[in-house]
Amino acid sequence: MTENRQGYIISGLCAVALGLVLTLGTGSPFTERAMGLWTDCLVWLEQPASHLRGFYWTGRKWVLERRFLIDKLSKMEEENDALFLSLHLKDALDLRDFLLESTVNAMVDLRLPLSWWKEIRINQGGMDGLSPGDPVLQNGFLIGRVNRVDCSKSWITLLTSTEEMTPVVIRETRDVGVVVGDGMGGIWLCYIPLDSEIKAGMNLDTALISEIIPPGVPVGTVTDDMRDNEQGYREYRISSGADLSRLYDVKVFRRGDKLP
Amino acid sequence: MIAVLVFAWCLQDFLQALFLGWTNSPDVFLLTLLTVGLLDETAEHRYLWIAFIGGVLIDLRWTGVPGMHGALFCVAYMTSGLFWAFIPKEGRVPYLFLSLITVNLVVVALFRWVLSQVGLPIGTASFGAWVLLTVPFILISWLYYCWFYRRENV
């Protein structure tokens, strides 16, 4: 500040007084004309701001509408599922009853040490509706197929047998391969295309290759253990969902029964 | 410095157009005027009239009460200038500058809020938004003064 503060104060008071005097012109035609002219001059400056505000509101509206539509869609899907379920509940119950009737429980009554990983014998046979080729399950997982059937006994060839080859599909990648036993308790996934990206933890189901085994029966999961065979194909060890070293009771799916 | 003040006025006008209907624009023009005017002690009369003209132009564009902001800015700048001149150079620390510009902005904003017909119903949310928008500009101004203060080596 300069020494002469008086001039500064007088200037300031004059400016304030002038401002107060100007307020008396509020609403006058001259003021309105001046406001209009000044607003027109500032259009170039305020136009981008207006556009930005417009973009914001449009975006906000779009987001809200999208959220509303997604909520509406999910509600409609839930309603559709409920309607579908109520419509087909009877069919589903009939199918469930049929599947329960088609499976028969059996006890393992013989498992020879020399063919421990090859076959087992169960206490159900032809009189109980079993036929060769019927899939055998434990805990819902495939463990083998019926090989020979007597009147009251049946021999089951296990997945761990070297004679058993089961076509499977990897649930995550839809690649088709073959599951083969090594005769020593191991199950290996073979003949997988070289470009397939198989990872540990992927699930295997029986494939719709032939009518030997119905498709979609769970087999097990892929493990980290792998090896290369002579042809250069990579083979993966499979962990069965069943406990193949302790088989006491199993379920046999009787294919003789036709689905409804 | 005139160019800086013109830019500040344009920025305030742009922000006012951007936040129209949501909150008031930060007083970038007044903040710049205080920062520039208090540091330049050779032309206080000029800055006083620049404050008046800038305020009148804001009134002509936004309030419709010509002279209201002109008078308001003049009072704010004049009292700040007198206060600043009253402080010896050694006492003009950055925190004092920060307090001065903050008080000025808040008083002017409150005055405007009370005077405007739509100001009172806007409520705390709008004022909170105004505070959030104003704080960065205050910090920029304060940092500029800190740099200036160190350069002057007071």
The mean pLDDT of chain B is 85
> Distance from A59 to chain B by nearest Cα, in Å?
15
Quick check: A12 and B72 CB within 8 A?
no
Burial class (CB in 10 A: 0-12, 13-18, 19+), A191: middle
Task: Please list every residue in chain B whose beta carbon sits closer than 8 Å to the beta carbon of residue A23.
Answer: 65-68, 71
Q: Which of B15, B67, B75 sits opposite A22 (nearest CB)?
A: B67
Task: Please list every residue in chain A whose beta carbon sits closer than 8 Å to the beta carbon of residue B53.
Answer: none
pLDDT of residue B114: 74
Flag whether residue A11 sits within 8 Å of chain B, measured between CB atoms: yes
Flag whether residue A5 sits within 8 Å of chain B, measured between CB atoms: yes
pLDDT of residue A1: 46
Q: Which of B14, B17, B74 sits opposite A15 (nearest CB)?
A: B74
Distance CA A205, CA A68 (A): 39
pLDDT string in tens for chain A (260-residue length): 445 678 888 888 888 888 888 888 888 888 888 888 988 888 888 889 889 988 999 999 999 999 999 999 999 999 998 888 788 777 767 766 776 778 889 999 899 888 899 999 999 898 888 889 889 999 889 999 999 999 889 999 999 999 888 999 998 888 899 999 998 989 999 988 878 888 899 999 988 776 667 788 899 999 999 888 887 788 999 999 898 888 889 999 887 655 44
> Distance from B56 to chain A by nearest Cα, in Å?
8
Distance CA A130, CA A146 (A): 8
pLDDT of residue A12: 84
For residue B49, give the DSSP letter.
H
Sole residue written with tokens 């157009």 = B17
**Best of B10, B12, B14 to mutate (most A CBs within 10 Å, chain A):** B14
Helix B2-18 crosses helix B44-58 at what angle (to 10 degrees)? 20
Neighbours of A69 (CB within 10 A): 10
Structure tokens that stand for A114 in this block = 């020399």
Q: Nearest-CA residue of chain B relative to A54?
A: B18
Flag whether residue A41 sits within 8 Å of chain B, measured between CB atoms: no
Quick check: A23 and B14 CB within 8 A?
no
Task: Please list every residue in chain A whose beta carbon sits closer than 8 Å to the beta carbon of residue B71.
Answer: 15-16, 18-20, 23
Is the model more confident about B114 or about B11? Answer: B11
* Cα dihedral A126, A131, A218, A220 in deg (nearest 10): 80
Quick check: A5 and B10 CB within 8 A?
no
% of chain B residues with pLDDT over 70: 92
pLDDT of residue B123: 59
Q: Is the pLDDT of residue B19 over 70?
A: yes
pLDDT of residue B125: 66
pLDDT band at B88 (very low <50, low <70, confident <90, very high): confident
3-state secondary structure of A189: strand
Neighbours of A9 (CB within 10 A): 14
Task: Please list every residue in chain A whose beta carbon sits closer than 8 Å to the beta carbon of residue B76.
Answer: none
Flag whether residue A10 sits within 8 Å of chain B, measured between CB atoms: no
Mean pLDDT of B142-150: 86
Task: Please list every residue in chain B whose beta carbon sits closer than 8 Å to the beta carbon of residue A26.
Answer: 64-66
Quick check: B85 and A5 CB within 8 A?
yes
Quick check: A9 and B82 CB within 8 A?
yes
Mean pLDDT of B63-91: 88
Quick check: A26 and B65 CB within 8 A?
yes
pLDDT of residue A158: 94
A211 to A207, B36, B60: CA distances (angstroms) = 10, 90, 88
Quick check: B70 and A35 CB within 8 A?
no
Helix-, strand-, coil-residue percentages of chain A, each rounded to 5: 40, 30, 35
> Distance from B150 to chain A by nearest Cα, in Å?
20
Mean pLDDT of B53-80: 89
Q: Which of B14, B52, B67 sits opposite A46 (nearest CB)?
A: B14
pLDDT of residue B140: 92
Distance CA B148, CA B94 (A): 9
Flag whether residue A95 sits within 8 Å of chain B, measured between CB atoms: no
Structure tokens that stand for A209 in this block = 């290759």
Quick check: A15 and B51 CB within 8 A?
yes
